[in-house]
Structure 1
Amino acid sequence: MNKEQLGIQYMQEGKWEEAAKFFMDEIEKNPQNAVSYVNFGNVLSALGDQERALTFYQKAIEIDDSTAAAYYSAGNVYFELEKFELARQMFEEALSKGLDNSDNFFMLGMTYIAIEKSKLAIPYFQRAVELNNKDAEGFFQLGLCLAQNEYIDEAIVQLKHCIAIDTEHADAYYNLGVAFGFKEDKEKAMEMFNKALEVQPDHMLAGYGKQIMEGE
């Protein structure tokens, strides 16, 4: 295990003070190591100090503007701060610097949802689940976007992938119920609404959907 991995292990274990001290020591020893600035920024972000985290990501980019992780981490902070256009720019920049992973594609999709351009999110979620076929939330968001853009059959396929991975995903069952309702398959719609309520008894939308089906 190298030094960077040791610091990341501290983070994964929730030992934030140890991680922060470790990465700060690394910055002092090697102030031109961009990765240490990213890692220290990630500690600050995890502790809720988003503005300071951004300064460390920006410093990493100043040192080495090919540091894809710095753009990705900055994108996450901007997304949390609801600065969605800035977030999108950061995730796009991370992609251009070689960060071709499912998380980056997923977050790009989420930024397009946030700016109410769900159709543009579809290819990003498609790529995210291609790269990680165990990502239940990726399949859910893809299914949601497809449904919103009236690709109902395609949405059902993706939402089924979601519940195959996560059998407790109440929102996926609910949206499957809506999709089957749209296709006038009352039996399947009721089955899905009931499943959503089984997983989450206080799921108001599923309860409402079930009432509508029962009233028809």
Structure 2
Amino acid sequence: MDTNQRGIEAMQKGDFEKAATIFSDAIEANPDDPISYINFGNLLSAVNELEKALKFYEKALELEPNAATAYYGAGNVYFNLENYEEAKNMFEKALKKGLDQGDLHFMIGMSLVNLNQNRFALPYFQRAVELNEQDKDARFQYGLCLAQLDLVDDALIQFQEVVKLDDQHADAYYNLGVAYAFKEDGDQAKQMLEKALQIQPDHLLAGHALKIITTNNE
């Protein structure tokens, strides 16, 4: 097992100090290898040393301008720093450099949502779901985008898939309730909202929506 792999294993086990030592040794032994800098950046990002992590990703990109995972790591740092414009730019560069993973498409979508560009986020969430059909977070965000663009029937399908993957997803049941209410199916809407409240009794939005539907049906 090579040095970087040992560091990654230590990191996965939560032994961050050991991982840091291994990655430091790897950098010292081969200071021109961008992989060690990327791994150290990932470690620093995992322990919330975001500014320091960025320095390691930048060093990796100095050594290898086509290192897609360094752009992805930097994108995650900027996202966590709530610099969504720069996060989007980094994620898009990772995509251009050949990284085509569901998580990357999801993060581009989330960056665009935070920039209030839901229409542009939609295809990225769609692609994330295509690449990983079990990704309930991507499906949920895809459903939200569809709903916000008034594509209610398509949104319903996604929220239904989310609750198949996770039958305790209160927000998905809430959004199903809203979608059924929009389609004037009061019984289904009420059932979905009640399910959301059963899972999460303090779900204020579901409680409010249920109150409105119940009042309208009286």
Asked if TM exceeds 0.5, the reply is yes
Q: Which residue of 1 aligns with 2:141?
A: 141
- CA shift at 1:168, angstroms? 1.1
Q: Which residue of 2 aligns with 1:196?
A: 196
TM-superposition CA deviations, 1:76-106 (whole Å, max 9, x none): 0101111111000000000011100000000
Q: Which residue of 2 aligns with 1:75?
A: 75
Q: Which residue of 2 aligns with 1:107?
A: 107
Q: Which residue of 2 aligns with 1:214?
A: 214
Aligned partners of 2:30, 2:141: CA distance in 1, in Å? 41
In the alignment, is the contact (CA less than 8 A) between 2:3 and 2:23 conserved in 1?
no
TM-superposition CA deviations, 1:139-186 (whole Å, max 9, x none): 000000000110000000111111111111111111111111111111
Is residue 179 from structure 1 mapped to residue 182 from structure 2 by the alignment? no
Q: Which residue of 2 aligns with 1:20?
A: 20
Aligned partners of 2:127, 2:115: CA distance in 1, in Å? 20
- CA shift at 1:5, angstroms? 2.2
- CA shift at 1:118, angstroms? 0.5
SS at match of 2:26: helix
Q: Which residue of 2 aligns with 1:91?
A: 91
Gaps of 5+ in 1: none
User: Pairwise mapping of residues 2-21 of structure 1 onto structure 2 (< 5 A)?
Assistant: 2-21=2-21
Aligned partners of 1:169, 1:6: CA distance in 2, in Å? 37
Q: Which residue of 1 aligns with 2:56?
A: 56
Q: Which runs of 4+ in 1 moved over 6 A?
A: none
Aligned partners of 1:51, 1:60: CA distance in 2, in Å? 15
- CA shift at 1:4, angstroms? 2.1
- CA shift at 1:215, angstroms? 0.4
Aligned partners of 2:163, 2:61: CA distance in 1, in Å? 39
Q: Alignment identity in percent? A: 52
- CA shift at 1:112, angstroms? 0.7
Tell me the amino acid that sits aligned with residue 175 of structure 2. Answer: N
- CA shift at 1:7, angstroms? 1.2
Aligned partners of 1:179, 1:4: CA distance in 2, in Å? 48
Tell me the amino acid that sits aligned with residue 97 of structure 1. Answer: K
Tell me the amino acid that sits aligned with residue 56 of structure 1. Answer: F
In the alignment, is the contact (CA less than 8 A) between 2:156 and 2:179 conserved in 1?
yes
Q: TM-score, normalised by structure 1?
A: 0.98
SS at match of 1:133: coil
- CA shift at 1:202, angstroms? 0.9
Tell me the amino acid that sits aligned with residue 58 of structure 1. Answer: E
Tell me the amino acid that sits aligned with residue 166 of structure 2. Answer: D
Aligned partners of 2:38, 2:108: CA distance in 1, in Å? 20
